[in-house]
Amino acid sequence: MPLPKAELHLHIEGTLEPELAFELAARNGVTLPYASVDELRAAQAFEDLQSFLDLYYACMAVLRTERDFEDLADAYLRRAAAQGVRHAEIFFDPQAHLARGVEMGTVVEGLGRALAASEENHGVSTRLIMCFLRDESAGSAMETLELARPYLDRITGIGLDSAEVGHPPVKFREVYEAAAALGLRRVAHAGEEGPASYVTEALDVLGVERVDHGLRCMEDPALVERLVRERIPLTLCPLSNVRLRAVDVLEDHPLPAMMEAGLLCTVNSDDPAYFGGYAGDNFDAVRDRLGLDEDRLRELARNSFLASFLEDDEERRAR
């Protein structure tokens, strides 16, 4: 039996397996720039974050209808459940769909149908986190938040993703303030390719409760000390870091040192259809190649629930 765990860093568009991409392309009359599943898989040799993002945005062109988003999320939840995931906090990228003429309602209603049935069908509880594309303008992020207002009963929080370097957290100060005023939880990608200072800025300027990746915090000992003291969770994605070359090989990953330093680390899959594995595969990889023992693996699983937004909303309102 795989260890029960929560997945806190998962882009639903990054769960689009090549087989499903071709099925949806045929269903919707969309042409992918690859002739076959094998050709698409061969294109998954990435140099860096941007080379991945180019393929990620190209493939999501096949997602057009509510049913497409429902099928995508349902396929992910089935796979995740088989690897021990009991709770999933799922990112989605509405701007990438709006830009193709796919409306917010299509995305949220479609994902929402799969999520609403997930506890019964897969034994996985869920939350939805809306991400803003940091290489788009702050104004576009604010418009996206406005478009999401009718659906906020289904959206727990906001995040920040896409090309990091040159797009510091401060660019999104106002939209994070507006989201906080609406009662939304706040997370952001920081310190994946960007510097440790982006992690500090995400905490100080955006008020994030959790940092996605955060790997490069290790370059700033004072920041590490602060993250430990404030118990700020980091959602690490080891297989993603290897495939996007944040680390050369998994054996070089700083996860053991980060745990040793007392950081609240979690292990997640990021974009499993592109990076070679789901949550359980990431757990297996850090066991086999980083030598983490059973106690450390249990600590990671426990951290994933501690770091989640599972606590009930009543309790939060009472605080």
Residues in touch with Zn ion (CB under 5 A): 270
Smallest distance, Zn ion to C-beta of residue 266, A: 13
Which partner, ligand HPA, Zn ion, none, binds residue 14 by CB below 5 to 8 Å per kind? ligand HPA
Smallest distance, Zn ion to C-beta of residue 163, A: 12
Write down how long the chain is. 319
Choosing from 7, 17, 89, 192, which is the catalytic residue? Answer: 192
Smallest distance, ligand HPA to C-beta of residue 221, A: 25
Binding-site residue positions? 9, 11, 189, 270-271
- The span from the CA of 189 to the CA of 19, in Å, is 28
Smallest distance, ligand HPA to C-beta of residue 1, A: 29
Sign of dihedral through CA atoms 238, 244, 248, 249?
positive
317 Cα distance to chain centroid: 26
- The smaller minimum CB distance to Zn ion, of residues 89 and 270, is found at 270
Smallest distance, ligand HPA to C-beta of residue 163, A: 7
CB-closest chain residue to ligand HPA: 161
- The smaller minimum CB distance to ligand HPA, of residues 3 and 188, is found at 188
- The span from the CA of 35 to the CA of 111, in Å, is 28
Binding-site residue positions for substrate? 271
What backbone torsions phi and psi does residue 247 show, to the nearest 5 degrees?
Answer: -130, 150
Tokens of residue 229, six digits: 């003291």
- The span from the CA of 202 to the CA of 274, in Å, is 26
Clarify whether 192 is annotated catalytic: yes
CB-closest chain residue to Zn ion: 270
Which partner, Zn ion, ligand HPA, none, binds residue 162 by CB below 5 to 8 Å per kind? ligand HPA
- The smaller minimum CB distance to ligand HPA, of residues 167 and 296, is found at 167
Instruction: Let me know: does 32 contact 13? Beta carbons within 8 Å.
Output: no
List residues near ligand HPA by CB under 6 A: 11, 14, 49, 56, 161-162, 189, 192, 240, 270-271
SS (H, E, C) 235-260: EECHHHHHHCCCCCCHHHCCHHHHHH
- The span from the CA of 106 to the CA of 72, in Å, is 13
Which partner, ligand HPA, Zn ion, none, binds residue 308 by CB below 5 to 8 Å per kind? none
| Residues whose CB is less than 8 angstroms from the CB of residue 12 and which lie 6 or more positions away in sequence, other chains included | 69, 72, 73, 76, 90, 91, 92, 111
- The smaller minimum CB distance to Zn ion, of residues 66 and 93, is found at 93
Which partner, Zn ion, ligand HPA, none, binds residue 214 by CB below 5 to 8 Å per kind? none
Instruction: Let me know: does 208 contact 223? Beta carbons within 8 Å.
Output: no
Which partner, ligand HPA, Zn ion, none, binds residue 167 by CB below 5 to 8 Å per kind? none
Strands (E) located in the chain: 5-11, 85-92, 125-133, 157-161, 185-190, 210-213, 233-236, 264-267
- The smaller minimum CB distance to ligand HPA, of residues 55 and 227, is found at 55
Q: Which residues are tagged catalytic?
A: 192
